């Protein structure tokens, strides 16, 4: 049997070997702030009203679907009580996987695909009418997911496939429906719900 004092001594030793204290909250760590923050500017027709295009896409309805007949049925089969509140569904049916109060019910919003926006959402941190390349690089350093070039395509493939996978409770049983829901690389590269910037 170990003596109490030995246990205490080894506990003290372990403590001195651990890195100092409980980790401080990470400052400058990007978090999800919600579609409304992007809408403020991105509903403007002068830059292409990306918000309107998104609103009309299935991604904007992704949270609502959880409370509709089909959603309730799928949840029942998966043994999930309240799909609209359960992380088992919110993981892919809203921004931030349901872990952030501000985005819990918005569906697959801007930041689900563009990255948590707390640090880049201000104009000067992600956009510029004169120097796009450098403002884009700044945005990516502040949490925006890449969309340009080869990195952009690779990141997009991972992004879409993270949710559009067969490993989900709502994966259909019928072969025909499975086929319909396939998202081949061609469809990912040639993104179906385009919402281009209007540039002068
Ligand atoms: C203060 C206004 C404003 C807000 C708020 C804002 N944006 Fe923007 N954003 C713009 C403008 C203006 C442009 C386009 C500039 C241009 O034409 O080059 C832009 C460009 C972008 C681009 C394209 C960047 C590039 O170089 O390809 C993305 C992606 C983007 N915004 C996403 C978002 C997201 C997501 C949010 C919310 C988290 C957001 N924006 C919030 C004004 C804003
Ligand atoms: C955070 C998870 C998530 C990400 C990331 C995501 N999707 Fe989706 N997507 C969904 C959900 C959930 C739905 C179903 C929405 C609904 O109808 O309720 C959906 C619906 C769709 C649909 C409509 C399918 C149909 O049956 O009509 C297409 C097409 C699609 N997504 C393409 C994409 C592409 C391309 C990407 C990558 C650029 C992408 N999605 C990224 C979760 C996601
Ligand atoms: C791994 C990601 C993921 C998880 C977890 C997930 N879903 Fe889905 N869900 C999707 C995607 C992607 C689609 C769109 C598929 C398509 O149509 O191509 C979808 C579509 C749906 C649809 C729309 C079907 C239709 O055509 O009307 C419902 C309803 C749904 N899911 C319910 C649920 C429920 C309930 C849960 C939790 C028990 C859940 N999902 C968990 C990714 C996910
Ligand atoms: C399902 C994923 C998804 C969602 C949701 C989404 N985007 Fe995008 N967005 C993309 C992808 C992928 C691209 C790159 C498209 C391309 O290069 O063709 C893009 C491009 C953009 C661009 C640049 C377009 C250009 O011409 O360079 C802006 C601006 C933008 N998104 C803003 C938004 C805003 C604002 C929202 C929310 C209202 C939003 N996006 C929602 C995936 C998404």
How far is 123 from 113, CA to CA, in rounded Å? 18
Q: Residue 60 pLDDT more than 70?
A: yes
pLDDT for 33 beyond 80: yes
Q: Is the pLDDT of residue 16 over 80?
A: no
Q: In angstroms, how far apart are the furthest CA atoms of the chain?
A: 79
CA of 121 to the centre of ligand 1 (A): 7
Q: Is 61 in the pocket of ligand 3 (CB under 6 A)?
A: no
- Ligand 1 centroid vs 126 CA: distance in angstroms? 6
Residue 64 Cβ contacting ligand 3 at under 6 Å = no
Quickly tell me which residue has 């918000």 as its tokens.
Answer: 51
Q: How far is CA 196 from CA 52, 104, 189, in A?
A: 12, 26, 14
Ligand 2 atom 37, closest CA: 160
12 pLDDT tier (thresholds 50, 70, 90):
very low
The contacts of residue 107 (CB under 8 Å, 6+ apart) are 59, 60, 61, 62, 63, 64, 93, 94, 95
d(CA 100, CA 108): 13
Please state the atom number of ligand 3 nearest to the C-alpha of residue 83. Answer: 35
If we measure between CA atoms, which residue out of 9, 183, 180 comes closest to residue 92?
Answer: 183
Ligand 1 atom closest to Cα of 35? 37
- Taking the C-alpha atoms of residue 36 and residue 110, their distance in angstroms, rounded to an integer, is 10
- Name the residue of 58, 110, 200 whose CB sits within 8 Å of the most ligand 4 atoms, as the mutation to test its pocket: 110
Q: Which atom of ligand 4 is nearest to the CA of 109?
A: 5
- The pLDDT of residue 191 is 85
Q: What is the pLDDT of residue 13?
A: 45
Percent of the chain with pLDDT strictly greater than 70:
86
Between residues 192 and 177, which one has the greater pLDDT? Answer: 177
pLDDT of residue 19: 44
Q: Whose CA is nearest to atom 31 of ligand 3?
A: 170
What's the rounded mean pLDDT across residues 5-19? 46
Within 8 A by CB and 6+ apart from 140, the residues are 146
Return the pLDDT at 200: 56
What are the tokens at 77?
């089969």
Pocket mutation for ligand 3, best pick of 78, 84, 93, 162 (most atoms within 8 Å of C-beta): 93
Closest C-alpha to 88, from 77, 76, 101, 97: 97
Tokens of 74: 């799928």
Residue 14 has pLDDT above 60, yes or no: no
Instruction: Answer whether 116's CB lies under 8 Å from 32's CB.
Output: yes
Atom of ligand 1 nearest to the CA of 34: 38
Task: Using alpha carbons, select from 37, 62, 38, 60 the residue that is nearest to residue 48.
Answer: 38
Q: Residue 193 CB: number of other CB atoms within 10 A?
A: 13
């Amino acid at each position: 049997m170990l003596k109490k004092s030995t246990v205490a001594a080894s506990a003290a030793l372990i403590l001195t070997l651990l890195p100092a204290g409980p980790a401080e909250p990470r400052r400058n760590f990007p978090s999800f702030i919600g579609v409304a923050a992007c809408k403020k500017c991105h509903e403007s027709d002068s830059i292409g009203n990306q918000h309107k295009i998104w609103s009309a896409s299935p991604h904007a309805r992704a949270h609502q679907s959880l409370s509709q007949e089909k959603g309730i049925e799928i949840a029942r089969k998966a043994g999930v009580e309240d799909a609209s509140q359960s992380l088992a569904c919110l993981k892919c049916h809203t921004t931030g996987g349901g872990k952030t109060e501000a985005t819990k019910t918005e569906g697959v919003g801007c930041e689900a695909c563009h990255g948590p926006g707390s640090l880049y959402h201000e104009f000067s941190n992600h956009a510029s009418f004169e120097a796009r390349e450098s403002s884009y690089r700044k945005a990516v350093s502040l949490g925006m997911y890449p969309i340009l070039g080869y990195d952009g395509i690779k990141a997009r493939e991972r992004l879409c496939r993270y949710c559009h996978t067969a490993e989900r409770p709502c994966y259909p049983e019928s072969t025909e429906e499975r086929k319909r829901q396939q998202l081949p690389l061609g469809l990912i590269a040639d993104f179906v719900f385009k919402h281009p910037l209007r540039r002068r």
